[in-house]
Amino acid sequence: MNVATIGTGWITEQFVDAVRESGKWTFAGAYSRSAEKADKLGGPRVFTDLNELAANKEIDVVYIASPNALHFEQALLFMKNKKHIICEKPMFSTTKELEEAFKVADENGVFLFEAFRNLYTPNHARLKEAIEKVGPVRHSFFQFIKYSSRYDNVLAGEEPNVFSPAFSGGALVDLGVYPISVAVSLFGKPKSISCHVMMLPTGVDGSGSVVLDYGDHTCTAMYSKITDSHLPGEIGGEEGTILIDHIAPITSIEFKNRRTGEKEQYAVREEENDMIYEAKVIAEIIESNDQEKYQYFRNVSEIVMQITEEARKQSGIVFDVEK
Amino acid sequence: MNVATIGTGWITEQFVDAVRESGKWTFAGAYSRSAEKADKLGGPRVFTDLNELAANKEIDVVYIASPNALHFEQALLFMKNKKHIICEKPMFSTTKELEEAFKVADENGVFLFEAFRNLYTPNHARLKEAIEKVGPVRHSFFQFIKYSSRYDNVLAGEEPNVFSPAFSGGALVDLGVYPISVAVSLFGKPKSISCHVMMLPTGVDGSGSVVLDYGDHTCTAMYSKITDSHLPGEIGGEEGTILIDHIAPITSIEFKNRRTGEKEQYAVREEENDMIYEAKVIAEIIESNDQEKYQYFRNVSEIVMQITEEARKQSGIVFDVEK
């Protein structure tokens, strides 16, 4: 299958490398408003017109890494032209957009994937195995906290895309979705949530906490784009505890048995570019029309979006697309 | 000043050692319903009648470490007999009790202290100094998570005091108050809070999360008596991050400068029995009638109680004393 890309940031470069290394797909071309920028990705073709790309019969899959607020319109255009979509997180701005997009995907017989790179990796699968060891889970904690140099622009009175409600930005949807998606992938849909954030003058959040209440267990997701962190992640069960060094990528998964004190390492060594797994897994699902696996990832996207929408509602974050 | 104790658990033994080593106070006697148990604490006198202890003119300070639900009545009895009180956490069951008790303390010209041992230590003071380095605080995280062997009794269908609403028990008030008291001591009263818990069949919580919303910063407090944890604590500011190994006791306070990457250790070596600091600080406040310091600790107790009461309300934990 032939893959084209939208967007020319570092994430697209990494995805193109992953496509090349996956052995599954062919990188067939890049779109950008700037032909020069698109050409730098090294593909055989450059597109500067989205409709031309949409009409191109040779392209089977489109990877979208444009600004968040553009994802919806672009995804719909390509899906209506029978192309499968891999869209960077956060895939869409609202549950309304998400539901509409999956409907269009179904109507056109194409797949729509959210690029939660951290959910396709071997170590995410290993983490699921390790959880079997801890007994009933009673607490868990995941964070994605990383200072963004764009915050310097906010402090200077500017409104960069990633911190702008006009571009559906903010720390919750940009980084918060990592810990939230891990929780949803491991534990499913929470019964209720609570969200508290630090609001920036731009109208979106700079940092915050979302507590996911599973009834028999409480999961805390912390995120921030205006601080740094050295906190590991943890899953605590009645029989033992799993400590993970980070959630994206995971390089250590240490299970400690509460009764014996014995430790066991579950992590395996992964490729440095973990988007290779994303590319491979998605290629396999499309090739084999694996509806069960597809539903799993689709379900995670749907629940994560419901959570972030509710979290934004609780904390007063309104995107321009909602106004 | 002469100090007497109520209760004969390990915490009382440690307090008696602290009194002896503090060089400030004299251990003058112990109360227990069992004379034999009280005698084991090694004091010069044994009391088996609370009223006799209350009437004893030689006792200046009473340390209360009885079951939580008995604190209020006992504290009132002794304060009305002009004795200062150091009461184990959680000091009382409700804000109503707490307000009444401080009123009685004022009326009788005595001091009433909650034994948050973790707030009187040199490293708590060092942590406050270190915070000056991080710039505006934007995230913080503290936990007290420790499996209690009493949970084995709960699993066996029993209702041990520490997990019983009849004794004002549960993980929130037993362990949750550690991270919450640290947050309140460092950051003051939050604007709002959210609490989610795992409820036990006994009617109190086994684990949970409380998010303290400070408007410009979100603090997450996690606690559990039914799991173990290896998570450190953290305070994240725009200029750097402080990682602490634990909150009670703190043995490492590492500040990392975001811009330079430089690390600085703030912790000092403390006495193994950190109740010595509690005994010394409280003795000094009473001796010098230091109203400013007293108000500080009183304020922390009041805010922590408001938080735990609101947290219990949100999560449906009702103590028998409230029914």
- Cβ neighbours around B14 below 10 Å, total: 17
Phi and psi of A45, rounded to 5°? Answer: -140, 150
Q: Within an 8 Å CB–CB cutoff, is residue B218 touching chain A? A: yes
pLDDT classification of A18: cutoffs 50, 70, 90:
very high
Is there a single domain that holds both residue A176 and residue A209?
yes
Q: For residue B151, what is the nearest residue in chain A, using CA coordinates?
A: A238
d(Cα B21, Cα B27) in Å, to the nearest integer?
A: 10
d(Cα B115, Cα B50) in Å, to the nearest integer?
A: 20
For the residues B22-45, what does the mean pLDDT come to?
94
pLDDT digits (tens, 9 = 90+) for A127-166: 999 999 999 999 999 999 999 999 999 999 999 999 999 9
CB contact under 8 A, B241 and A232: no
Is there a single domain that holds both residue A48 and residue A184?
no
d(Cα B113, Cα B90) in Å, to the nearest integer?
A: 11
pLDDT digits (tens, 9 = 90+) for B135-163: 999 999 999 999 999 999 999 999 999 99
Residues B92 and B98: beta-carbon distance below 8 Å: yes
Residues B114 and B297: beta-carbon distance below 8 Å: yes
Residues 6 or more apart whose Cβ sits within 8 Å of residue A74: A6, A50, A62, A64, A66
Residues A246 and A231: beta-carbon distance below 8 Å: no
Residue B189 has a pLDDT of 98
Is there a single domain that holds both residue A148 and residue A270?
yes
Q: Which of B115, B141, B158 is the last residue of a domain?
A: B115
Is there a single domain that holds both residue A91 and residue A157?
no
pLDDT classification of A70: cutoffs 50, 70, 90:
very high
Residue A255 has a pLDDT of 98
The maximal CA–CA distance of chain A, rounded, in angstroms, is 63
For the residues B44-55, what does the mean pLDDT come to?
96
CA distances for B203 relative to B151, B173, B228, B298, angstroms: 13, 13, 21, 29
d(Cα A35, Cα A37) in Å, to the nearest integer?
A: 6
For A:111-150, CB contacts with B below 8 A are 138-139, 141, 143, 145, 147
Identify whether A116 is part of a domain: no
CB contact under 8 A, B231 and A141: yes
Q: For residue B199, what is the nearest residue in chain A, using CA coordinates?
A: A216
**3-state DSSP call for residue B162?**
helix
Residues 6 or more apart whose Cβ sits within 8 Å of residue A275: A14, A15, A17, A18, A115, A117
Strand stretches in A25-162, DSSP E:
26-31, 46-47, 61-64, 84-88, 112-115, 137-145
Residue A198 pairs in a beta bridge with A207
Identify whether A33 is part of a domain: yes
pLDDT digits (tens, 9 = 90+) for A166-191: 999 999 999 999 999 999 999 999 99
Identify whether A85 is part of a domain: yes
Residues B118 and B247: beta-carbon distance below 8 Å: yes
Is there a single domain that holds both residue B10 and residue B146?
no
Residues 6 or more apart whose Cβ sits within 8 Å of residue A209: A195, A196, A197, A220, A221, A222, A223, B139, B211, B218, B220
Contact list in A for residue B143 (CB cut-off 8 A) is 141
CA distances for A89 relative to A8, A172, B162, B234, angstroms: 16, 11, 45, 27
Contact list in B for residue A192 (CB cut-off 8 A) is 196
pLDDT digits (tens, 9 = 90+) for B160-205: 999 999 999 999 999 999 999 999 999 999 999 999 999 999 999 9
CA nearest to B5, candidates B21, B27, B24, B37: B27
Q: What is the number of structural domains in chain B?
A: 2
Q: For residue B155, what is the nearest residue in chain A, using CA coordinates?
A: A238
Minimal CA separation from A180 to chain B, in Å: 16
Q: What is the DSSP string of A240-305?
A: EEEEES-SSS---EEEEETTT--EEE------SSTHHHHHHHHHHHHHHT-HHHHHHHHHHHHHHH
Please give the span between the terminal C-alpha atoms of chain B, in angstroms, as a whole number. 39
Q: What is the CATH number of the domain that holds B166?
A: 3.30.360.10
Q: What percent of chain A is helix, strand and coil (3-state, nearest 5)?
A: 40, 25, 35
Q: Both tokens of residue A129?
A: 């195995």
CB contact under 8 A, B209 and A208: no
Q: Both tokens of residue A231?
A: 């906190």
Is there a single domain that holds both residue A31 and residue A83?
yes
Q: Which of B75, B92, B115 is the last residue of a domain?
A: B115
Q: Which of A62, A91, A111 is the last residue of a domain?
A: A111
Is there a single domain that holds both residue A100 and residue A212?
no
Residues B113 and B105: beta-carbon distance below 8 Å: no
Is there a single domain that holds both residue A159 and residue A203?
yes
CB contact under 8 A, B196 and A211: yes
Contact list in B for residue A234 (CB cut-off 8 A) is 229-231
Of chain A, the percentage scoring pLDDT greater than 70 comes to 100
Residue B149 has a pLDDT of 97
Helix (H) or strand (E) holding B279: helix B275-288
pLDDT digits (tens, 9 = 90+) for B278-295: 999 999 999 999 999 999
Residue A78 has a pLDDT of 98
- What is the phi-psi region of residue B157: left when phi exceeds 0, alpha when psi lies from -120 to 50, beta otherwise? left
CA A5 to chain centre: 17
Q: What is the CATH number of the domain that holds A107?
A: 3.40.50.720
d(Cα A175, Cα A181) in Å, to the nearest integer?
A: 10
For residue B241, give the nearest of A218, A227, A241 by CB distance. Answer: A227
Residue A121 has a pLDDT of 97
Q: Both tokens of residue A96?
A: 């309304």
Query: Domain span at residue A27?
Result: 2-111
The residue behind tokens 């549960």 is B170
CB contact under 8 A, B230 and A224: no
pLDDT digits (tens, 9 = 90+) for B206-258: 999 999 999 999 999 999 999 999 999 999 999 999 999 999 999 999 999 99
For the residues B55-80, what does the mean pLDDT come to?
96
For residue B229, give the nearest of A194, A229, A241 by CB distance. Answer: A241
Residue A262 has a pLDDT of 98
Identify whether A35 is part of a domain: yes
Residue A280 has a pLDDT of 96
Contact list in B for residue A143 (CB cut-off 8 A) is 141
Of chain B, the percentage scoring pLDDT greater than 90 comes to 99
The residue among A131, A134, A138, A243 with the most chain B CBs within 10 A of its CB, best to mutate, is A138
pLDDT digits (tens, 9 = 90+) for A280-318: 999 999 999 999 999 999 999 999 999 999 999 999 999
Is there a single domain that holds both residue A96 and residue A155?
no
For residue A209, give the nearest of B192, B207, B218 by CB distance. Answer: B218
Is there a single domain that holds both residue B7 and residue B83?
yes
The overall average pLDDT reported for chain B is 97
d(Cα A90, Cα A281) in Å, to the nearest integer?
A: 19
pLDDT classification of A241: cutoffs 50, 70, 90:
very high
Is there a single domain that holds both residue B191 and residue B307?
yes
Residue A129 has a pLDDT of 97
The overall average pLDDT reported for chain A is 97
Identify whether A7 is part of a domain: yes
CB contact under 8 A, A231 and B226: no
For residue A241, give the nearest of B151, B196, B230 by CB distance. Answer: B230
Is there a single domain that holds both residue A156 and residue A237?
yes
- Its sign, for the CA torsion A183, A186, A187, A190, is positive
Residues 6 or more apart whose Cβ sits within 8 Å of residue A245: A232, A233, A251, A252
